[in-house]
A and B are shown apart, each in its own frame.
Chain A
Amino acid sequence: MTDGNANGNQEGATTPLMSWNNNLKALLVDPSPACRLIGKAYLTAYGVNTEAVDNADVAIILLNMGASFNVILIDMHMREMNGAQFAMLLRSSGVQTKLLGMSAMFREREKEEFLEAGGDGFIEKPLHPSKFVPILQELDSN
C-alpha cells in the first residue's frame, strides 16, 4: 500500500484505483496540453505521483535539480528533439530511470530507434491503464 495517496493524506482525497508497495513517481513529457492533462489524470488516478512537462528542456532542468522518477514517459515528437535523441541524452547523462516512449502514429523504425537509444518500452497513444499498469507493476516489484 502506498503512503502517498491513501485516504487521510488530504481531506476529500480520492482513493487511487490501484495501490503500490512503493511510492511511484512518473514524469510525463508531451508537447500536447490535452495529452498532458489526461495522461497526468490517468496516472494520478492509479496512484502515481506525476509531473507533466511540455518539452525535453524542462524535463532536463527537473532532473538536474534532483527530481527523481520511477518512469519517464516520452512523446516521440517533441519540439527540440525526438524521443530517441532524448533517450540518448538521458542515458549519456547517467539517468537510469525506466524510459517509456509514446507515439500517436506507430512506426516500427521509430520504436527501434528509441529502444536502441536506451528506451525500455514503447506504447501507442492514447495512454490507457491497460498499457501502463503492467509496466508500473513491474517497476513496483523491483
Chain B
Amino acid sequence: MAGKDLNQKLNELISSLQDQGILDDYFDELKGLQDEQSPQFVTNTITIYLGGADDTIAELTKNLSEPAVNYPRVTYLADKLKGSSMSIGGARMADVCAELCEASEANKREACLALFGGVNREYSILQESLNKIAQLEQAIHDNEE
C-alpha cells in the first residue's frame, strides 16, 4: 500500500514538473532505463548530474567575476551544463544555458551576467525538484527491499 502511494506521489510530482516545463519527456525515457539490474539508476544519475552541475556553476561564478572574462571558457562551461541538463530532461535549465552560451560567444559581458543569474535561479528550482524525486525514488526502493 505504502509503495503504491509513493509511486503515485512520484508520478504526480514528475507530471507537475513537466507541466511547469522544469522537466521534459526525456526524463520519462531516462526513468525507463531503470531496471532490476540498475534499480537506483535514476537516483544515481540525479546525484551525478547535481555534483557535476555544482562544479560547473562554481567555475562559471569564478570566471564571470573576473575583470577580463574568459569567454571561450564560459562558452565551454555553459555548453557542458546545457548538455548535461538536456540529458536529464532539465528543459528550462538547458534553455537558459543555451542563452548564456550564445551571449558568451558574442562576448557580451552584461548579458552573460544577467543570464547567469537566470542559470542560478533555474538550477535552484531544478536541484530542489530532482532532490524531491531522488527522495521518493529512494523511499520506493527501501520499501521494496
A binds B: yes
Bound complex: CA A35 to CA B88 (Å): 8
Q: Which of B63-71, B75-83, B112-120 contacts A (4 or more CB under 8 A)?
A: B75-83
Please tell me the number of chain B residues within 8 Å of chain A, measured between CB atoms: 28
Q: Cβ of B125 < 8 Å from any Cβ of A?
A: no
Interface residues of A (CB under 8 A from B): 12-14, 30-35, 37-39, 41-42, 45, 75, 77, 103-105, 125-128
The answer to whether B82 touches A126 (Cβ under 8 A) is: no
**Chain B residues near A128 (CB, 8 Å)?**
26, 29
The answer to whether A104 touches B83 (Cβ under 8 A) is: yes
Bound complex: CA A42 to CA B31 (Å): 11
Q: Cβ of B22 < 8 Å from any Cβ of A?
A: no
Interface residues of B (CB under 8 A from A): 26, 29-30, 33, 35-38, 41, 44-45, 48-49, 51-53, 76, 79-80, 82-84, 86-88, 94, 98, 101
Bound complex: CA A37 to CA B41 (Å): 9
For the A-B complex with A32-B84, A34-B45, A126-B86 known, give 12 more contacts whose Cβ atoms are closer than 8 Å: A12-B36, A32-B80, A35-B83, A35-B84, A38-B45, A41-B33, A41-B45, A77-B76, A104-B82, A104-B83, A104-B94, A126-B83
The answer to whether B37 touches A105 (Cβ under 8 A) is: no
**Chain A residues near B41 (CB, 8 Å)?**
41
Partner of B38, one of A30, A32, A33, A41: A41
The answer to whether A125 touches B51 (Cβ under 8 A) is: no
The answer to whether A14 touches B37 (Cβ under 8 A) is: yes
* A4 CB, nearest partner CB in chain B, Å: 15
